[in-house]
Structure 1
Amino acid sequence: MAPYESGDATGTARHDEDLRPGRRRAARYVVPVAVVGVAAATIGLVPALADSGDPDLPSITAQQLIRKIAASDVQRLSGTVKIDTDLGLPDLGGLGSGLASGAARGGDGSFADPRAKLTELASGTHTLHVAADGPDRQKVSLLERGAEYSLVHDGKDVWGYDSKSNEVYHAAAGFGAKRGAEPPATPEDFAGEALKSVDATTSVTVDGTAHVAGRDAYKLLIKPRQSGSTVGAISIAVDARTGLPLKFTLTPAGGGAAVLDAGFTQVSFARPAASTFDFTPPRGAKVTEGEGGHGTDGKASGRGSASGGEFVGGLDGLDVLGKGWTSVATFDTGAGGGLPTGSRGGDLGGFLGSLGDQVSGKFGKGTVFSTRLVNALITDDGTVYAGAVTKETLVKAANEGN
């Protein structure tokens, strides 16, 4: 194996904006968030299949590798991605799928609305097929037991199709991008989000090489310098030839299995067949027109579920406490009574209370709900504090924010 830089690279990386991949490619392989809520940041990908033995590649510094990622301009690809998320969420049995179905069916909602898939992708193992041919043609298919969910972006149109319910969701492309709401979905997207965090609070080094999906790759290792973060380390496998991130792994500070592990198991950079992006609603399918979509009369329709942009817009007043890896987001839900935990919530309150820890401070009283990565404090007056920080760091931030 070739020698690699062992020291931190943050001294240069944090001052050179060219080293960080911008938002210009954030949704390259996915449909905008207005239609592809399926790509929420809680989605992780199972470890990509790795060959035995590490490739012998020329040495490279962390700065050079970050520049290589930023300069990557892959326009065409097709491949298979595995999804496995381990946030440590409690097993809610059928309640989780019921909540997802309820969200999808709210108002004139559709099972084909991508947000209906968010809950089920928050845990378990899934398989995705992805394809892209430039910025205007992408497809993501989620394979399920005896069914398939597909999202197709072809020019001005975005289609979501759920074969299980035989429902179709249609919207105009670009609505999410115009609103600046594009969550990560592929290893490239996750890497871009992680590299935005590179600053004085971060250690960045090159951690050797690897084989990922049959490709030679360098490994970039990102670690928080600050104590109090629940993030242990982030590893990004970068294709040695194209600079495209092939695998993204986030391990928690508490140890154990990765929380997110985003990797291709197979990838090709050949142009996908044009027919890959063709879509016509099947006979008898229910079609729901989403925001920016057009009904049979050709007029823009606002029917259907709220867009991802509207979800973000609903968090007006969002503030950030602290800096770096221990920063905490806070906002007021407007629910003065907070969650109905404890005796005032009856059986439901007892159940919710059992999922969290009761805390108190200058913010008053509240309940901390924890996963292996994110902790969230919901106070009795309806204020939310959340971040990838420990419970102690979260409570301290809430106290200092009052």
Structure 2
Amino acid sequence: MAPYESDESTTAEEADDLRAGRRKAARYVVPVAVVGVAAATIGLVPALADSGDPDLPKISAQQLIDKIAKSDVQQMSGTVKVSTDLGLPNLGGLENSLASGATRSGDGSSADPSTKLTELATGTHTLRVASDGPDRQKVSLLENAAEYSLIHNGKDVWGYDSGSNEVYHSTDAGHAQGRPPKDVPATPKDFTQEALKSVDATTSVTVQGTARVAGRDAYRLVVKPKQSGSTVGQITVAVDARTGMPLKFTLTPSSGGSAVIDAGFTQVSFARPSASTFDFTPPKGAKVTEDTKAGHGRAGHDLKGTGKVPGSGKGLAEGTGGTKILGKGWNSIATFDTGGKGVPSGSAAGGRFGGFLDSLGDKVSGTFGSGTVFKTRLINALITDDGKVYVGAVDKAALVKAADAAQ
């Protein structure tokens, strides 16, 4: 680490400036990720940082956030390592069975992003990304013996699964107007944009030294909740010293241990990618599925609302009728009423699915009655026996307290 640290913590006044900075940052999102995924379950394997911390000019947290906001990288390509450790039990192939079952029943193509990219929910993956302005992006998921690519070129969006030789194609109105599908976090910058939306008076923001990532000099921005009860320990972002683009994003849980999300470039170039990078013609013999549903290209790819980096509480149950946000800052809890019963027990649910639910759940009780807390290392949810749901990046005690207070 470079021998300095600035901005011990963020005051309420400074928080206003930081919020202004992250609002600017939101206008400069590089639409690299056209992948539709549940972002709360996506992460990147630790990008191997180069040895030796560079000696860079001192910079404050506010200056670094402003640098991110002003970053306007339009052309780039690179390789990102992807991994997630939510602490979920092994599903024993259940998720693959459900996905393949949906495909066999005619509900979709294996090349549809909403089907193919569910595998990014767990494990280690490598992504190859490229961008040339707002109208051209490509993300490729590299596998052992196959490759899946999602390409946005003008009004067209193509998905291709080389393993099954299937193609997905969409040309909805949004694409025809030159807008890409709404981007979701899949690169360090995408995750950083979401994290900065949570910066307020409940947040500590500091600059803690420097690093070398993907051969480039970077500053380390550290974001921490000031409140207790959050499952988020801290977020560390390596920010490119020259361009201001985040090169590495790491979210560690308050419980300690390995990172829940670790997003980092292992190789990056800011040269303009070749135009041929975004060309696609369905291979001979490939099964092509045309998506003719109006607006599906936008809605089908935009799962961002269900997986924002926790902090503000927004997006945890977005789109659900009657959703309310309890608390503030990193301890925000989204709550809504399903209007039905709580989650069935393992015996009632039956089979492997019931056992899976039991492995995640802890029975709890309080003034609210009783229910089950389903836990990961990041997002926890309390489902009461009368069908009310409380969910957030908070610990079990915070969920029970919120349910009791709602009575």
Correspondence for 1:132: 131
Correspondence for 2:115: 116
Are the counterparts in 2 of residues 205 and 220 from structure 1 also a CA contact under 8 Å?
yes
- In structure 2, the CA distance between the partners of 1:209 and 1:154, relative to structure 1 (3 Å rule), is same
Partners of 1:256 and 1:174 in 2: CA distance: 45
Q: Deviations over 1:23-77 (max 9, x none)?
A: 334461022xxxx313623211112121111000000000000000000000000
Q: CA-atom RMSD, angstroms? A: 2.7
Amino acid corresponding to residue 326 of structure 2 in structure 1: L
Gaps of 5+ in 2: 306-317
Q: Answer with 91-100 or 22-31: which moved more.
A: 22-31
Partners of 1:220 and 1:46 in 2: CA distance: 19
Question: Does 2:355 match 1:318?
Answer: no
Displacement of 1:7:
1.6
Q: Answer with 57-66 or 277-286: which moved more.
A: 277-286
Match of 1:28 among 26, 31, 46: 31
Q: Answer with 340-349 or 324-333: which moved more.
A: 340-349
Partners of 2:29 and 2:166 in 1: CA distance: 28
Are the counterparts in 1 of residues 174 and 295 from structure 2 also a CA contact under 8 Å?
no
Correspondence for 2:358: 353
Amino acid corresponding to residue 328 of structure 2 in structure 1: K
Q: Answer with 274-283 or 37-46: which moved more.
A: 37-46
Q: Deviations over 1:351-400 (max 9, x none)?
A: 52343111123433221111111111122233221111001111111222
Correspondence for 1:253: 254
Partners of 1:178 and 1:376 in 2: CA distance: 35
Partners of 2:157 and 2:370 in 1: CA distance: 45
- In structure 2, the CA distance between the partners of 1:210 and 1:310, relative to structure 1 (3 Å rule), is closer
Are the counterparts in 1 of residues 185 and 191 from structure 2 also a CA contact under 8 Å?
yes
Correspondence for 1:221: 222
Are the counterparts in 2 of residues 251 and 257 from structure 1 also a CA contact under 8 Å?
yes
Partners of 1:156 and 1:174 in 2: CA distance: 8
Paired residues for 1:247-286 under 5 Å = 247-286=248-287
Question: Does 2:390 match 1:385?
Answer: yes
- In structure 2, the CA distance between the partners of 1:259 and 1:350, relative to structure 1 (3 Å rule), is closer
Q: Deviations over 1:228-259 (max 9, x none)?
A: 00000000000000000000000000100000
Give the alignment's TM-score, normalised by structure 1. 0.89
Q: Percent identity?
A: 68
Partners of 1:245 and 1:310 in 2: CA distance: 22
Displacement of 1:281:
1.5
Q: Secondary structure at the match of 2:205?
A: strand
Partners of 2:382 and 2:82 in 1: CA distance: 28
Correspondence for 2:376: 371
- In structure 2, the CA distance between the partners of 1:303 and 1:114, relative to structure 1 (3 Å rule), is closer
Q: Secondary structure at the match of 2:193?
A: helix
Match of 2:343 among 339, 349, 357: 339
Q: Secondary structure at the match of 1:381?
A: coil
Q: Secondary structure at the match of 1:41?
A: helix
- In structure 2, the CA distance between the partners of 1:310 and 1:96, relative to structure 1 (3 Å rule), is closer
Are the counterparts in 2 of residues 13 and 19 from structure 1 also a CA contact under 8 Å?
no
Question: Does 2:401 match 1:396?
Answer: yes
Displacement of 1:310:
8.7
Partners of 2:71 and 2:254 in 1: CA distance: 30
Question: Does 2:209 match 1:204?
Answer: no
Partners of 1:30 and 1:310 in 2: CA distance: 12
Correspondence for 1:170: 169
Correspondence for 1:295: none
Partners of 1:302 and 1:286 in 2: CA distance: 22
Q: Deviations over 1:104-127 (max 9, x none)?
A: 556531111112234321211100
Are the counterparts in 2 of residues 100 and 118 from structure 1 also a CA contact under 8 Å?
no
Are the counterparts in 1 of residues 25 and 68 from structure 2 also a CA contact under 8 Å?
no
Are the counterparts in 2 of residues 291 and 304 from structure 1 also a CA contact under 8 Å?
no
Partners of 2:332 and 2:112 in 1: CA distance: 32
Gaps of 5+ in 1: 293-300
Correspondence for 2:156: 157
Q: Secondary structure at the match of 1:307?
A: helix
Q: Secondary structure at the match of 1:279?
A: coil
Q: Secondary structure at the match of 2:27?
A: helix
Are the counterparts in 2 of residues 369 and 377 from structure 1 also a CA contact under 8 Å?
yes
Correspondence for 2:315: none
- In structure 2, the CA distance between the partners of 1:101 and 1:315, relative to structure 1 (3 Å rule), is farther
Correspondence for 1:297: none
Correspondence for 1:186: 187
Displacement of 1:202:
0.4
Q: Secondary structure at the match of 2:42?
A: coil
Partners of 2:319 and 2:9 in 1: CA distance: 39
Are the counterparts in 2 of residues 41 and 185 from structure 1 also a CA contact under 8 Å?
no
Partners of 1:6 and 1:304 in 2: CA distance: 43
Paired residues for 1:11-26 under 5 Å = 11-16=12-17, 17-20=19-22, 21-26=24-29
Correspondence for 1:296: none
Are the counterparts in 1 of residues 80 and 126 from structure 2 also a CA contact under 8 Å?
yes
